[in-house]
Amino acid sequence: MDGILNINKPEGLTSFGVVAAVKRLTGEKRVGHAGTLDPAATGVLPVCLGQGTRVSEYLMDSTKAYRAEIELGSATDTYDASGKVTLEGDASDIDHARLESALSSFRGVIQQMPPIYSAVKHKGKPLYKLARAGVDIERKSRPVTVHHLELVDWQPPVVTVEVVCGKGTYIRSLADDLGRILGCGAHLKNLVRLRCGLFDIKDAVSMSELERAFSNGYWHQFIYPIDSVLKQWAAVVVDDDARQDILNGRPLEMQDCLDMKGSPETRCRVYALDGRFLAVLRFDTEKQHWQPEKVFQ
């Protein structure tokens, strides 16, 4: 069973809990998600099956969209509603204009500190495990990209924003930083992932519907092909000789692909003559050829 599921993760279930449920339903051992959602968060969670797990890294690199409710007036150690309150402030004088001004500092490439309760690793160990053990770690900020940030509702003390961002962006950190800028403290009250790459929440399947689909034999309609998440790259069809070279891991020189070597994209999709998805090739700028990066037998 090879492909990808677009699952609408429910509140209270961990991302690994969703993976475990999918393993149970499908009987497939190779199952993994493409981008963790916190237990309290809901929305799009791509789950890769079989050889689909080999393209999860490309999904993790994709742009994501969120709707976040941020409560002003209190900060927590986890940066969300599950944590202990570390600061309480007065948000009564915050108005729409001050919110817009504060939010403007989060657009574009910004420096962001990941939460101490996060899956970011320090010397191979997730920060949340170190935090629970009482180990104080000095975290380093890192650059993340916020492509779009819009204030969509303001019902004091809760502000609702929609965010489109790149890999590694923590909406919890954005909420905490907003509270710092406003001087009143803030934490993430609610989070919904609206989109991950091509996967949209409008098309996401709930866990209950997925269970019914497997029980009644129509589960296949929810499986996306492996190459569906790679459409941003050019597609090339190769003959049987080139196909055999790719299967054996040998590099290729293909003019159709070489024409793209000056573009930001240095990968392409390859298909056999019968239309089957064959591989992902990566352009080696030093050797000036296309090297098989992922081969799908």
Decide: 68 and 41 in contact? Cβ < 8 Å.
Answer: no
Q: For residue 119, name the pLDDT band (cuts at 50, 70, 90).
A: low
Separation between Cα atoms, residue 72 and residue 88, nearest integer Å: 9
pLDDT digits over 11-22, tens only? 999 999 999 999
pLDDT of residue 255: 62
Report pLDDT for 118: 54
Tell me: the pLDDT tens digits for 198-216?
999 999 999 999 999 999 9
Q: Tell me what percent of the residues of the chain surpass a pLDDT of 70.
A: 88
> Does 128 have pLDDT greater than 70?
no
User: Exposed/middle/buried for 13, CB within 10 Å: 0-12, 13-18, 19+?
Assistant: middle
DSSP string covering 137-175: -----EEEEEEEEEEEEEETTEEEEEEEE-TT--HHHHH
pLDDT band at 253 (very low <50, low <70, confident <90, very high): confident
Average confidence (pLDDT) over 223-234? 92
| Domain 233-295 of CATH type 2.30.130.10 | yes
What does the mean pLDDT of the chain come to? Answer: 89
| pLDDT of the residue at 136 | 63
The tokens for 214 are 């497997």
CATH number of 3-62+198-228: 3.30.2350.10
Same fold, 3-62+198-228 and 233-295: no
Within its chain, how far is the Cα of 123 from the centroid? 23
Say yes or no to pLDDT of 131 above 50.
no
Q: Active site residue: 38, 176, 177, 227, which one?
A: 38
* Domain residue extents for the chain: 3-62+198-228, 72-149+160-185, 233-295
pLDDT for 287 beyond 50: yes
Active-site residue 256, yes or no?
no
Q: What is the mean pLDDT of residues 148-161?
A: 97
Q: Is the pLDDT of residue 137 over 80?
A: no
How confident is the model over 35-87, as pLDDT tens digits?
889 899 999 999 999 999 999 998 988 999 999 999 999 999 899 998 899 99
Q: Residue 149 and residue 184: Cα distance in Å, rounded?
A: 21
Instruction: Assign domain 72-149+160-185 to a CATH class.
Output: alpha beta
